[in-house]
Amino acid sequence: MEFQTKLIHGNWTGDNHTGATNVPIYYSNAFKHKTAKELEHIFAGREAGYVYSRIANPSVEAFEKRIAAAEGGVAAVATASGMSAIYLAVMNILKPNDEIISSSGVFGGTYNLFKHLEDYQLKVKFLETLDEESLGSEISDRTKVVFAETIGNPKLDVLDMEAVAKVCQKKNIIFIVDSTITTPYLIRPISYGADVVIHSTSKYINGNSNAIGGVIVDGGSKKYGDDKFSGFSQYAKRFSRFAFTAKLRKEIAKDIGAALSPMNSFLNLVGIETLGLRMKAHCANAGELAQYLSTHPKINGVNYPLLNNSSYYGLAKKYYEKGASAIITCRLGSKEKAFNFIDNLKLTKPGKCR
């Protein structure tokens, strides 16, 4: 299937019992089974099925499969928010005294989360630039994860995924990429060497500002079989390329319980069907607006990766031929001028994310 068709029909052929063409919303906490033994096997992960919606739910699973297909991953785990997706993904890998290397230009919530992880004997290094040179000098024996965003929010720095993936492959480090801003319409990080992809689905994937959610996409890496990831030993042997997802579902995702609700899964499934069409329009509008603002006499500087004068223009052209998403930043000279500008917008008001 082509991309847009996959968003509508990927991993879904209709409900076999009723013929419904949309995924049903399964609002059930628990699920019955023929025998107690069957229930035990499903709960222990020895058989597929549903026991409790904190662990797995048919509506949520349908959304997970749709996202995994769109990203080219082997599996996905949906979560209650984008921040919970980041937390669960990194903590699925890390143990005390391990280390994360992260881009310093990540989303503020992510930055704060990583700083707080230091309270749990986890070291975090923030680098202004992630490339072969910077990683080569900063990676240590403790480094287990390199984390970055495809396009940083709000810095709008463009990640050279191939370069970073090359280092992570050589050093056997898990490369996690947050692709919230770009979505699988603009780029699929797994195809460039990412091991795990994360989205806050509340933004472009949902598209309607009516459902908070997150998702973790497993790229099917073989790195977890290495001795440095001892916590994955049993999962790598039994589940091979599904080791990351198997451990995530069996341990921290189940224990923390940050599950996406069936209703929010349904709303995300409805939203994702138009993702390709919306992103195409978003990118076109952002490009035109960035060009216009860059010539405005009252604006001191406009930041958008596909502007010719952007320091990231070369990387943006390499990775984002369809567009560099829809976030633009600009400088007006002072906070007061910025607030005045925002307060006088006609269609967008402070706090309104549409």
Taking 70 as the pLDDT cut, the residues of the chain under it are: 351-354
pLDDT at site 161: 98
Rounded to an integer, what distance in angstroms lies between the CA atom of residue 81 and that of residue 261?
Answer: 10
60, two tokens:
């949520």
pLDDT at site 10: 74
pLDDT at site 163: 97
129, two tokens:
């630039």
Q: What is the CA radius of gyration of the chain?
A: 21
Rounded to an integer, what distance in angstroms lies between the CA atom of residue 125 and that of residue 99?
Answer: 8
Rounded to an integer, what distance in angstroms lies between the CA atom of residue 295 and that of residue 289?
Answer: 10
Amino acid at 27: Y
348, two tokens:
């967008």
Give, as one character, the DSSP assignment of residue 24: P
Helices (runs of H) and strands (runs of E) counted in the chain? 15, 9
Helix H, strand E, coil C: the string for 98-122 is CEEEEECCCCHHHHHHHHHHHHHCC
pLDDT at site 25: 94
- The CB density around residue 227, as the number of other CB atoms within 10 Å, is 7
Rounded to an integer, what distance in angstroms lies between the CA atom of residue 179 and that of residue 200?
Answer: 8
Helix residue spans in 150-220 (DSSP H): 161-171, 183-186
Rounded to an integer, what distance in angstroms lies between the CA atom of residue 178 and that of residue 157?
Answer: 13
pLDDT at site 188: 98
DSSP per position, 171-191:
HT-EEEEE-TTTHHHH--GGG
pLDDT digits (tens, 9 = 90+) for 214-236: 999 999 999 999 999 999 999 99
pLDDT digits (tens, 9 = 90+) for 321-344: 999 999 999 999 999 999 999 899
* Domains of the chain with bracketed CATH: 3-272 (3.40.640.10), 275-343 (3.90.1150.10)
